[in-house]
A and B are shown apart, each in its own frame.
Chain A
Amino acid sequence: MKSNLKKLVVLVGMAVLAAASLHAQDSKALVEALVKKGVLTDQEAEEIRADLVKEFNTTSAGKLEVSKHVKQLKIYGDGRWRYEYVGQEGQANGTNNLHNWQARYRIRLGADYAFTDNFKAGFELESSTQNDGANQTIGSGFGKFGVNVGLLYLSYKPWDFLTVTGGKIRNPFYTTDVLWDTDVAPEGAAELFSWNVGDQWTVGLTAGQFNYTENTDSAGLTGSSSTKMQDSWIYAAQVPVTYQFGKFESVTVAPAFYKFTGNNASTVITGSPSSLGTLSAENLNIITAPGDVSFKVLNKKAKFYWDFAYNVSGESRIHQTYGIVNQNNDLSDNVAWLAGFQLGDNKKKGDWLVGIDFRQIGLGSVDPNLNDSDFGNGNLNQQGLKLRAGYNFTDFLQGGVSYFNTWNLKENIATTGQTPNTVGGLNNVNATTRLQLDVVWKF
C-alpha cells in the first residue's frame, strides 16, 4: 500500500510534468534520479516507466509511429481562400479585354524529414498542376480538384558549409519575383556553399542545374526533321554576400548568372500566361543582381529591396525566338528591374506588413514562364506597381490585400506587318489590374 502510494505520488508528479512538456518519455531521467536517491526501487521505477509509456501511447502523439531513421519530422501546410479581381485591356482593339471577379482556393501540405547521417528530405502536395501556383477557381459545378506533387527532394549536408539538394526543390537562389515566381519549384540539383568570414561577413556560392524541359532526343521539330530536339536545362551560379552591421541591420547583394540551354526545342509550360503554349527556352543568358538593405524602423523590420536582370541575348530572344522582325531592340527591352520597400512582417498575432514596389519587365529580359504570374498576368513588356498589406489576426490566421497595376513598357510592338498577338501571350495586353483579398491559415 505504501509502495503503491509512493508510485501514485510520483506518477501524478510526472503527469503534471508530462502535461507541461507533452513528452512523458522524457521523464526517464527523473525516474532514474529518484532511483539513485533511493526514493524508488528499481522495480517501482520499471512499473512507473511502463505506465508512463502506456499513458503516452494513448495520447495523439503517442499513437503516431515514425520510422526510426527519422530524427525529426515537421508536418506543415496552409490553406488560402482568395477573392480576386482581374482586369485586362487587350492590345488588339479590345479583342483581349476582360474583367472578372472570381473566388479561388489553394491548399498545400508538406513534410520535412531530418534523417540520421546529415540527410534531409521532404515533399509537398498542392492543389494545382500549374508550375507557378496552386490556385483553383471555384464555380465548376462543385467539381473537385486533384492533389499534385509540388516538392520532392533529398538533401545532404556533409559539412556545415555545404548542402547538396536534388529533386523537385525549393528555389535555392536569393531572388525576387521579377525572375522567379515564388511558387516555382525547379527540378534538378543545387549545391549551396556558405562561409562566415569574421563576425560580419557571410559569403556563399550557389549552383543549380535544372532540367527545364524533357524532349525525346530522336524527335525532330515540325518542319525541320533534320534538327534534333534537345532537353532544355537551366545552369545557374550565384555569389550571395551579406554584411551584417547590427542585430537587424544588413546589406545583401547576390549577383548571379543564368544560362538556359536547348536549341530550337519547344518548351511546353503549364503556367502563366497560359496562352504561351509552346515556347523555346533559347536565347536566355541572364545576369542578375538582386539585393536588400535591411534595418529596423518604428520598432519594425524594414527593408529596401531591388532586382536587376539583363539578358545578354535579349535581341536574339526578341527577333529569333519571338519572331518580331520590326522591333527596334534597345536596352530597356533586355532589362527587367524592380525597386521596393517593405515594412513589418507576418509571423505572429498582431504583426502587420505593408510593401510597395515598381518594376519594368522588358520584352526580351526574362522567361515569362517563370516570372510572377500575378504581375501583368505574367506578360512581358509591362511596367507598374505592386502594393500589398497583411495582418495576423492570430499566430496562424492572416489576412492580406495585394494590388497590381501594370501598363505597357513600349507601345505598338508587333503591330506593323504582323497580326497582333502572333507571339502568343507575350505582349497581348496594354494594361492590367489585379486585386486580391486573401485569408490564409497555417497548420
Chain B
Amino acid sequence: MKLKSLLAMVLACATALGSAHAEKLVIKGSDTLGAKLVPQLAEQFKAANPGTTFEIAAEGSTTGIAAIIDGTADIGMSSRRAKSTEVSSAVAGGKNLKPTIVAYDGIAIIVNANNPIKGLTKKQVEQIFTGDVTDWSAVGGKPGPISIYTRNTSSGTYSDFKELAMKKRDYAGAAQKLAGNEQIASEVGKNANGIGYVGLAYDKAPGTKVVPIEGATPSVASVQGKSYPYARPTFYYTNGDATGIAAKFVAFTLSPAGQKTVTSVGFVPVK
C-alpha cells in the first residue's frame, strides 16, 4: 500500500513538473520590446492562462536572435531584422529564423527640453550622429558642444538607426553608449546639450522633447503611413512556425487585445 502511494506521489510530481515545464515561456532579446510591452503582454496572457510562467530577458536584439539559434529561448524579441550572418548560423545549426511583425516603432530624436532647436533635417541628423557636426550652432541651435547618446552595440536600435539615419556610417567617436531607452532619455533630460534617440514608447520622458525631422514627428499615423523617416517594424523571431505555448503567445500579441496593449505602451499596432 505504501509502495502504491509512493508511486502515485512520484507520478503526480513528475506530471506536475512536466506540466509546469511545458507552460514556461522563455523570451529573450530587444530592450525596446522587452522593457515594457512584452512584460505587460505576459501579465495579461498569464491572467488568461493560469499556470503559465515567463522568463523574460531584455538585453538587446542580438541576444534574442542568438537565443533562437542556440535554442535557449522560445521567442526572440528583435527591433531589427536578422543579419545575413545570423541566418547563416541558424541554418548551420539546423534552425529556421522566422520573423513575425508584432508592432511598429518610430525612433524619436530627443533633445533636452530647454534646447531651442525646432527641428532637424535628415542630413543634419546624419551629421550630428556621425560627428561631422559637433556644435549646436552648426544646425541652428545655441552654441555648445553636442553630447550624443546612443544605445549599445548589442541593441537592434543601434544598428537600425545607423541604417535608417546615418547611411550605415559609424557613430561619432565621442558618442556615449547606454544600455536602454530609459537611460538615454534620462541623460538627455539632464544634459542641456544632449541628443539621443528612443523608441516611441519612451519619447515623453521628463526634461526631453521630440525633434521633428523635416517637419514630421513620430506618431501612429506617420509610422503606419510610412511618412516618418525613422520607423521600423519590431519582431518576434521563432524557430520556424511557433508551436505550443509560444504560438499561443504570438497569437495573443497579434490579437485585438494584444494590439491594444501595443498601442497603450506607445508602439504602433500592426493593423
Which residues of A pack against B, CB within 8 Å? Answer: 25, 42-43, 46-47, 49-50, 53-54, 56-58, 62-63, 65
* Residues B84 and A46 in contact, CB atoms below 8 Å apart: no
* Residues A42 and B99 in contact, CB atoms below 8 Å apart: no
Which residues of B pack against A, CB within 8 Å? Answer: 81-82, 84-85, 87-88, 91, 96-101, 233, 235, 270
State A54–B91 Cα separation when bound (angstroms): 8
* Residues A53 and B99 in contact, CB atoms below 8 Å apart: no
Shortest Cβ gap from B235 to chain A (Å): 7
* Residues B87 and A57 in contact, CB atoms below 8 Å apart: yes
Which residues from chain B contact A63 at a C-beta distance below 8 Å? Answer: 88
Which residues from chain A contact B100 at a C-beta distance below 8 Å? Answer: 43, 46
State A50–B99 Cα separation when bound (angstroms): 7
Which residues from chain A contact B98 at a C-beta distance below 8 Å? Answer: 47, 50
Known: A47-B98, A50-B99, A57-B91. A25 touches B81 (CB 8 A): no
Main secondary structure of the interface of B (DSSP, over half): mixed
Shortest Cβ gap from B16 to chain A (Å): 38
Known: A42-B101, A42-B233, A54-B96. A49 touches B81 (CB 8 A): yes
State A46–B85 Cα separation when bound (angstroms): 17
Which residue in A43, A50, A62 is a CB contact (below 8 Å) of B88? A62
* Residues B85 and A50 in contact, CB atoms below 8 Å apart: no
Nearest neighbor of A69 in chain B, beta-carbon distance: B170
Nearest neighbor of A28 in chain B, beta-carbon distance: B81
Which residues from chain A contact B99 at a C-beta distance below 8 Å? Answer: 46-47, 49-50
A–B Cβ pairs within 8 angstroms, 20 of them: A25-B84, A42-B270, A46-B81, A46-B99, A46-B100, A46-B233, A49-B99, A50-B81, A50-B97, A50-B98, A50-B99, A53-B84, A53-B87, A54-B87, A57-B84, A57-B87, A57-B91, A62-B84, A62-B88, A65-B88
Which residues from chain B contact A50 at a C-beta distance below 8 Å? Answer: 81-82, 87, 97-99
State A25–B87 Cα separation when bound (angstroms): 13
Which residues from chain B contact A53 at a C-beta distance below 8 Å? Answer: 82, 84, 87
State A54–B240 Cα separation when bound (angstroms): 12
Shortest Cβ gap from A384 to chain B (Å): 57
State A72–B62 Cα separation when bound (angstroms): 25
State A50–B76 Cα separation when bound (angstroms): 15
State A47–B99 Cα separation when bound (angstroms): 7
Which residues from chain B contact A46 at a C-beta distance below 8 Å? Answer: 81, 99-101, 233, 235
Which residue in B82, B84, B97, B101 is a CB contact (below 8 Å) of A43? B101
State A56–B85 Cα separation when bound (angstroms): 11
State A53–B100 Cα separation when bound (angstroms): 16
State A42–B105 Cα separation when bound (angstroms): 14
Which residues from chain B contact A49 at a C-beta distance below 8 Å? Answer: 81, 99
State A63–B92 Cα separation when bound (angstroms): 10
* Residues A58 and B91 in contact, CB atoms below 8 Å apart: yes
State A305–B99 Cα separation when bound (angstroms): 63
Which residues from chain A contact B233 at a C-beta distance below 8 Å? Answer: 42, 46
Which residue in B85, B96, B270 is a CB contact (below 8 Å) of A65? B85
Which residues from chain B contact A25 at a C-beta distance below 8 Å? Answer: 84
Shortest Cβ gap from A74 to chain B (Å): 20
Shortest Cβ gap from A55 to chain B (Å): 10
Which residues from chain A contact B96 at a C-beta distance below 8 Å? Answer: 54
State A65–B84 Cα separation when bound (angstroms): 9
Shortest Cβ gap from B83 to chain A (Å): 9
Besides A42-B101, A50-B82, A57-B87, 6 other CB < 8 A contacts? A42-B270, A46-B235, A47-B98, A47-B99, A49-B99, A50-B98
